[in-house]
């Protein structure tokens, strides 16, 4: 299995630009998670989907952030407009299980390092 695939690996953009991060979960997994990692705040859960439906988006920092999962094999996290404080590493993770809950093992992608200048 190829694992969770994220693209791009690195993204550098200017303040005010739209940024789209992409994630392909492990085939057969029914839950997908987006995390943000910064030095100041550590790893934070932004949103998670179960069977392509957003279950908990309470971690999404503000309206500039949006996430979609149009099908079981693809998800995007969009930031519009981007700001320098959005600079972080963004991880996508997926898991499987009958409960589809966060109690199942999550497998992480390699992350996208975002720099907003």
Partner 1 sequence: AQTVTQSQPEMSVQEAETVTLSCTYDTSESDYYLFWYKQPPSRQMILVIRQEAYKQQNATENRFSVNFQKAAKSFSLKISDSQLGDAAMYFCAYSGNKLVFGAGTILRVKS
Task: Point out which residues bind partner 1 (CB under 8 A).
Answer: 33, 42-43, 45, 56, 89, 91, 93, 101-103, 105-108, 110-111, 113
Nearest by Cα to 38 from 61, 18, 57, 69: 61
| Least distance CB 76 / partner 1 (angstroms) | 20
E-assigned strand segments in 1-117? 5-7, 10-13, 19-24, 31-38, 42-50, 53-56, 65-71, 74-79, 88-95, 107-108, 112-116
In angstroms, rounded to a whole number, what is the distance separating the alpha carbons of residues 57 and 45?
Answer: 9
Residue among 65 and 91 whose Cβ is closer to partner 1: 91
Residue among 48 and 65 whose Cβ is closer to partner 1: 48
In angstroms, rounded to a whole number, what is the distance separating the alpha carbons of residues 2 and 8?
Answer: 16
Residue appearing with tokens 């859960």: 45
Residue among 65 and 90 whose Cβ is closer to partner 1: 90
């Amino acid at each position: 299995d190829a694992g969770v695939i994220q693209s791009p690996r690195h993204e550098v953009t200017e303040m005010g630009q739209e940024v789209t991060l992409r994630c392909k979960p492990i085939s057969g997994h029914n839950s997908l998670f987006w995390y943000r990692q910064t030095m100041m705040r550590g790893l934070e859960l932004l949103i998670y989907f179960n069977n392509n439906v957003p279950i908990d988006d309470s971690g999404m920092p503000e309206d500039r952030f949006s996430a979609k999962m149009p099908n079981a094999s693809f998800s995007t996290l969009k930031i519009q407009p981007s700001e320098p404080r959005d600079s972080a590493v963004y991880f996508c993770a997926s898991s499987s299980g009958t409960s589809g809950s966060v109690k199942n093992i999550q497998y992480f992608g390699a992350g996208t390092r975002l720099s907003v200048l």
